[in-house]
Every structure is written in C-alpha cells, then in structure tokens.
C-alpha cells in the first residue's frame, strides 16, 4: 500500500512539473540576441546553369581585376557557369572571431540552378555596414531540374537556393550589453501581466525578496552581481526556475484560406439562437433542335435550354445558453453538419451580435 502511495505522489509531482515552464522557455534576456547579416557574391563552377546578366559580368570583371587579371577594353566576360547571388546568415549572440555559422545562398539573376556551385570569398555585413563574417565554400542544394530540347522541363523543390553549413567565419564579435550594469532585464515572449507577476514571485522566492520587480507586462528587472563570472552563474540559476504561465486571453483564430479554425479553451458564448441553412443551386444545360414548318422560309437551328433547380437545406435552429463552452460549441455545430466555411460565417455573425465575447482573428 505504501509503495502504491509513493508511486501516486511521484505521478502527481510529475504532472505538476509538466505544467510548469522554465524561465528560459518563456523569456529572453534583453540585449542578448542574434543579428542578421547580408552579403553579395559570385557562385562559380555551374554546369551551364548560371546567368548572363550585365551585373554578373560586371561583378566577375571586378573580381578578376582585384586578382590581377586585366581584360581588354570593351570585352565583357560572358559565361553560363557563373551566377550572382545574395547571401544571408544569422550571427548568434556571443559569437567570437573564429566561430563558424551557416550561410544561405539565393540566386538574384537568371540562373536556373546553383547545384554543384562554389561560393567565392564574400563579406557579410550587418545593418551598421560593418563586416562581421566572410563566407566561402561548396553549396548544398536540395532541388534540381531538367529540361528537354522541346521545351519540356521538370523541377523538384527550388534549385536556385542553397546552403553552406559552417560556410562563414566570424571576424568580429557579436555586439551585446550583457556585461553592462548590475541588473538583468527579462523580456517575456508573450506579454502578460499575470505571467510577469508570477515570474517575479518565483524569482523572489528562489533568490530572496526584492531581487526581481516587474516593470510592465513584458519586462522583469532582476538585480545581478557585477562580476561577469558570478553573473553567468546567477543567470544559469535564474533561467531554470519553473513557473506556470498565465492562460492566454480567449481567442478564435480563423484561417480563411485553408479553412482552419482554432478555438481557445476559454472561449464562451452568450445566449444566442442560430439557424444556418445551406442553399444549393443546380443549373443544367441541354441543346434542342428547332425545326421550321414545311414550305416556310425558316432554317433549322440549335437552341440551348437551361434547367435551374434550387434546393434549400432543412437545418434546424440550435440554441446557445449563457456561458456555453468550447465542447458545447463543437458538439452543436457537428450536429447540424456545418462545414468549415459555414462555421466561419456562424462565428462572424456571433461576434457581430455580441454573443461571442472573445477576440475573433481572421488571417
């Protein structure tokens, strides 16, 4: 009996911990973030699938000049084995010179495929115009295409976009303000006053009263040591504190393109009676021959005839009482056999009538 009781207590503890989230999963440290890098370069070694655009030829000519190769005046290089590409990468927080990052390469010309190409040395710049990394290497292209002499062609995935794993070397450290000040600011991924208060209480219960204070519904400020080693240890302890975030506000999300409807568990509907009947219109076209009378001046003619049939569904009205829950909404709609499009119309009508007090978001 005692063994069963212990197993039951462990199961309860596991369930309670499963409902809680760590601070590192629901918030981030202000100032500690990645930065976007962008660049321009040339891909060479293509098997006739490159582009012949003027800016590609100009870029290739400039590259040759930097390498000491001078082309005769008026001669523009033209090769289908070269392609102009745009580069983009993400510089992680705390990246230091020598770190490797992935690079995505995308064609910006008329190239049909980048498969088998090699990116030549290209700088990657940040929003401030500074060079933070340099990229070079062989690309991995998931797509491919084939074209016949009669113009027929087949394409799988996208052959004009590829990646270079660890293809860029960081040259300048990623900027951040982690070492500044004696406080750490957490930013909630989903702003909520209740979650901010619960997070503050969890930190103060673990670290001591007055350690954290909420600034607003998305920001919590925490006093931290000034020494960097102690600050790292302090932050490691903080981000593993668990708490239960507040439930999101009630919302109904409707995707009008795919027909997907998501209804939150806190959605409630006030008293309302709904009748949603479907109207089906069927039109059939037939051809008839018009034959003139004997000895008349008329000619034989073919005349179209249209047959229109209207059928209206006999769906019954159903009633929503005050405080109707999600289960009751779904059950009632399923009983009348409403399709996703019909359910969208019902939800919009409920919102306009004031019976649906939750937020209705249509994307």
Residues 175 and 99: beta-carbon distance below 8 Å: no
pLDDT recorded at residue 6: 35
Residues 86 and 106: beta-carbon distance below 8 Å: yes
Q: Is the same domain home to 327 and 351?
A: yes
The answer as to whether 309 is a domain residue is yes
The answer as to whether 24 is a domain residue is no
The last residue of one of the domains, among 170, 196, 228, is: 170
The last residue of one of the domains, among 143, 170, 197, is: 170
pTM score of the predicted model:
0.65
The answer as to whether 8 is a domain residue is no
The last residue of one of the domains, among 148, 170, 192, is: 170
Residues 223 and 211: beta-carbon distance below 8 Å: yes
In the chain, the number of structural domains is 3
Q: Is the same domain home to 61 and 158?
A: yes
Q: Is the same domain home to 58 and 86?
A: yes
Q: Is the same domain home to 232 and 325?
A: no
Angstrom distance (rounded) from CA 213 to CA 151: 67
Output the DSSP codes for 244-312.
Answer: -PPPPPPEEEEETTTTEEEE-TT--B-SEEE----EEEEEEEEEEEEPPPTT-S---EEEEEEEEEEEE
Q: Is the same domain home to 185 and 271?
A: no
Of 77, 81, 91, nearest to 135 by C-alpha is 91
| Neighbouring-strand partners of residue 137 | 119
pLDDT recorded at residue 4: 43
pLDDT recorded at residue 11: 45
pLDDT recorded at residue 147: 58
Output the DSSP codes for 61-112.
Answer: HHHHHHTTPPPPTT-----TT-EEEEEEEEE-TT--TT-EEEEEEEE-SS-S
The answer as to whether 22 is a domain residue is no
The answer as to whether 10 is a domain residue is no
The one-digit pLDDT tens for each residue of the chain (363 residues) are: 434 433 443 444 444 444 688 988 989 888 888 899 999 999 998 888 888 788 788 888 888 888 888 877 777 676 788 899 999 999 998 899 999 999 999 999 888 888 889 999 999 999 999 999 999 999 898 865 555 555 555 666 678 899 999 999 999 988 877 777 788 899 999 888 999 999 999 999 988 888 899 999 899 999 988 888 888 888 889 889 888 888 877 788 877 777 777 777 777 776 766 666 654 445 455 666 666 666 666 677 766 665 555 455 555 555 666 666 656 766 666 666 666 667 777 777 777 777 777 778 777
Q: Is the same domain home to 154 and 128?
A: yes
Question: What does each C-alpha distance from 94 to 125, 176, 282, 345 come to in angstroms?
Answer: 17, 7, 66, 50
Angstrom distance (rounded) from CA 235 to CA 239: 6
The answer as to whether 16 is a domain residue is no
The answer as to whether 158 is a domain residue is yes
The answer as to whether 2 is a domain residue is no
Q: Is the same domain home to 262 and 280?
A: yes
pLDDT recorded at residue 21: 86
Q: Is the same domain home to 96 and 53?
A: yes
Angstrom distance (rounded) from CA 278 to CA 271: 23
Question: What does each C-alpha distance from 253 to 261, 264, 270, 359, 362 come to in angstroms?
Answer: 6, 8, 19, 8, 6
Q: Is the same domain home to 111 and 189?
A: no
The range of the structural domain enclosing residue 223 comes to: 181-243
Output the DSSP codes for 305-362.
Answer: EEEEEEEE--PPPEEE-TTB-HHHHHHHHHHTT--HHHHHHHHHHHHHHT-B-SEEEE
pLDDT recorded at residue 5: 37
| Neighbouring-strand partners of residue 300 | none
Q: Is the same domain home to 266 and 344?
A: yes
């Amino acid at each position: 009996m005692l063994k069963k009781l212990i197993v039951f207590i462990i199961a309860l503890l596991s369930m309670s911990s499963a409902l809680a989230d760590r601070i590192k999963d629901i918030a981030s440290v202000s100032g500690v973030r990645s930065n976007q890098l962008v660049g321009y370069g040339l891909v060479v070694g293509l098997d006739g699938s490159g582009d012949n655009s003027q800016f590609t030829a100009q870029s290739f000519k400039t590259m040759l000049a930097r390498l000491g190769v001078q082309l005769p005046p008026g001669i523009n290089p033209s090769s289908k084995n070269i392609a102009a590409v745009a580069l983009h990468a993400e510089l992680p927080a705390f990246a230091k010179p020598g770190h490797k990052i992935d690079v995505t390469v995308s064609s910006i010309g008329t190239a049909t495929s980048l498969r088998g190409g090699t990116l030549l040395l290209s700088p990657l710049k940040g929003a401030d115009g500074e060079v933070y990394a340099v990229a070079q290497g062989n690309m991995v292209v998931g797509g491919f295409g084939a074209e016949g002499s009669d113009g027929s062609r087949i394409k799988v995935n996208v052959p004009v976009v590829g990646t270079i794993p660890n293809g860029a070397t960081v040259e300048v450290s990623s900027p951040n303000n982690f070492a500044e000040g004696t406080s750490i600011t957490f930013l909630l991924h989903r702003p909520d006053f209740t979650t901010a208060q619960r997070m503050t209480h969890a930190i103060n219960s673990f670290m001591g009263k007055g350690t954290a204070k909420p600034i607003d519904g998305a920001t919590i400020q925490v006093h931290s040591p000034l020494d960097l080693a102690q600050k790292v240890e302090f932050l490691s302890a903080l981000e593993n504190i668990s708490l239960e975030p507040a439930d999101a506000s009630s919302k109904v999300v409707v995707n009008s393109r795919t027909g997907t409807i998501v209804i939150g568990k806190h959605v409630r509907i006030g008293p309302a009676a709904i009748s949603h009947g479907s109207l089906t219109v069927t039109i059939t076209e037939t051809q008839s021959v018009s034959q003139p009378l004997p000895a008349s001046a008329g000619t034989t003619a073919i005349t179209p005839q249209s047959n229109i049939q209207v059928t209206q569904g006999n769906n019954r009205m159903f009633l929503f009482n005050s405080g109707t829950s999600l289960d009751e909404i779904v059950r009632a709609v399923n009983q009348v056999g409403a399709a996703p499009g019909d359910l969208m119309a019902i939800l919009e009508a409920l919102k306009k009538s004031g019976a649906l007090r939750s937020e209705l978001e249509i994307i």
